[in-house]
Amino acid sequence: MTRLRSALGGLLVLLGFAQGAMARESLPFITPQTRATLVTDTDSFAGGSFHAALRLRMAKGWHTYWQNPGDAGAAPELEFSGLQGAKAGPITWPTPQIHREAGLITYGYDTEVVLPVSITATGAGTLKLSANWLICANVCVPEQAEFTVDLPAGPGGKSAEAPLFAAALLATPRPAPWPVSLRDGELQLAGNGLTTDTVREAWFIPSVFDSIQASLPQRLTARDGSIALAVQTGPAYRVDTPLQGVLVLQDRDGQQTALAITAATIVDSLPLWRILLMAFAGGLVLNLMPCVFPVLALKAVGLAKLGGGQRGYAYACAAGYAGGVLVTFCGLGLTLLLLQQAGSAVGWGSQFQSPIFVAVMAWVLFGVGLSLSGVFHVSMAGAGIGQDLCSKQGAIGSFFSGLLAVLVATPCTAPFMGVAIASALSGTAVQTMAIFSAMGAGLALPYVLIACSPAVARMMPRPGAWMDVLKQGLAFPMYGAAVWMLWTVSQEAGPTGVALTAFGLVLIAMAAWLISLPTQGWGRRVSRVLALGALFGCAGLLMVIGRTPAASATVEAGTEAYTPARLAVLRAEGRPVFVNMSASWCITCLINERVALGTDAVRGAFAAKDIVYLKGDWTRQDPAITEFLKAQGRDGVPLYAYFPAAQGRVKILPQILTPGILLDALGG
């Protein structure tokens, strides 16, 4: 009997070793909803590479998630260790299923999934896995477990679990055999002979969350031996980044083929000459904006004092002004390019998102106003007007006038400029600089014509006392612009920022008064030192303003704050949505809200059509708003986007609004 027991024990040990040689699966982690194990495709190891995987078997009704979980959930995370020199690659994700619930879309797996990873190591030992995953049904349960599998030294034969890896490989999307591109809101698959008879259904699953609006229907069409799938890009989509994901094709028999695609965006761009023309026209129109016109009028008054004479001086002023405009525009373009290369999300007028910059502009405009009012006179203050300036001084003063004109122009986005700026920031560096130069040429042209054209010079009125009155009157638009800057600071740095900026205005006024004192000798030197001290005091205030937190955003009645998640939910519900991307420093935005968006007719149309009004505030940098702007091909505000109900595609409205334009768009 003892011998029989020994024999049976030895047989069991041998069977155990035999089983160990065939199977490599860890002890299971078991919960009411999950059975999880670590598996490998080899039963021994002598160095090199093999495959390991987390195997999840789920109870009925439960599911886990893909690399992009969708509107909810979290992707599994795996961390391997243990073997000498072990390095783990990324998860090879099988094609996920689409789960729809309450208007939300998620991507994942139910029943069972194997998540393979390629492991490279230098020798045998114990493979360890630390894994966490989320499993959901009516509720979601986060789970975490540690697993181990012994891999003895050996030739590396296939384990009993190797077929699991072969099945996972078959379930993995394969590279698309045909070129795929995104064009005009469609994924276009240029396959030879593909039709809607061979491909009955198709759907796209994005690798990056929110790169498409997943809740919207994806309509399949076919033409010229290729198929196209309509997709609506989402807030995370960028024109300069390929759209990646899984395209699933289903034939008439229900068989599915999953393709891993990387679709570059093909933009039917305008010819460069047309973009340059639009940039030039946009710069030209900027002269009429309330933030620029006072500067231009100021320079025109200075030329009028010449009475059509002293052409050389006029030419020098024209050259200086045009040079200041072009240098500043090119500097802005170069700065935006460098920031983009560094990974910053920037756009037109983004410098006004800094309360420090806005405070400085308030002080500069206030100082120019004091000079026009006769409190003091400095030739290089940007006004640069007066018979007392020689040619060199006139050119320098005009240069700084051009610089000032560009700086105060950036909150305004004139018509034609939206497409031009977007093209500039998405094109090559040479194209970017050419487009910014064209905008500068448009802004500088009116003053250059006034200064250099004898015909225009003859049309200008003769010098007289009226010019001094007009010059003093032009101080008040400068004061008004300074007040507007002060209000912008209130949006970016709250009441504390306003108080500090206002105290800076007092210091600027004190410095101007000290400079204007009719003193000589030591008295003059002391007044200059005190004025310089006042200006240094302003510099100290800037340090505090930069650290002052922004005021809490307020949203007017009937308006919701924009968030990508809120927009996605509303679109999933099929509700019409109007998105207004604005900023407190954008004059065009404020005018549109007063004369168009705030009218009773427009608000009545919103209420009658049950349109949800979302407003994004770009006063200070907001990455979500920046991504939305770029997704719509824009790099600045204002941007008005109307998403009609149900399956309607987004409508981008003009940057200058009227009630009629809005009502037509809402009713179309």
pLDDT in tens, 138-196: 888 999 999 999 989 888 788 999 999 999 999 999 988 888 888 878 898 876 667 77
What residue ranges define each of the domains in the chain, with the CATH number in brackets?
20-172 (2.60.40.1250), 175-265 (2.60.40), 272-547 (no CATH), 560-667 (3.40.30.10)
The amino acid that residue 264 corresponds to is A
Q: For residue 370, how many other CB atoms are within 10 A of its CB?
A: 25
Average pLDDT of the residues in 603-614: 91
Please state the separation of Cα 52 from the chain's center in Å: 39
CA 388, CA 373: separation in Å to the nearest integer? 17
Q: What is the pLDDT of residues 561-599, one digit of tens each?
A: 898 888 888 887 888 999 999 887 676 777 788 888 988
Nearest CA-CA partner of 80 in 71, 72, 89, 69: 89
Does residue 19 surpass a pLDDT of 50? Answer: no
pLDDT band at 8 (very low <50, low <70, confident <90, very high): very low
Question: How far, in Å, CA of 325 to CA of 269, rounded?
Answer: 27
Q: How far apart are CA 300 and CA 518, in angstroms?
A: 30
* C-alpha span between 152 and 216 (Å, rounded): 52
Please say whether the beta carbons of 587 and 289 come within 8 A. yes
The CA-atom distances, in angstroms, between 72 and each of 10, 60, 239, 248, 325 are: 53, 20, 25, 22, 50
Residue with the larger pLDDT of the pair 344 and 254: 254
Tens of pLDDT along 361-415? Answer: 788 778 877 877 878 754 333 333 333 333 334 677 778 777 877 776 665 555 5
* Joined tokens for residue 404: 């000032």
Omega before residue 152 within 30° of 0, cis = no
Residue 217 to residue 107: CA distance in whole angstroms: 16
What 3-state class would DSSP assign to 205?
Answer: strand
Let me know how long the chain is: 668
395 in Cβ contact with 388 (< 8 Å): no
Task: Read off the pLDDT of residues 459-482 as tens digits, 9 standing for 90 and up.
Answer: 665 655 666 676 677 778 778 778
Beta carbons of 212 and 233 less than 8 angstroms apart: yes
Angstrom distance (rounded) from CA 57 to CA 135:
11
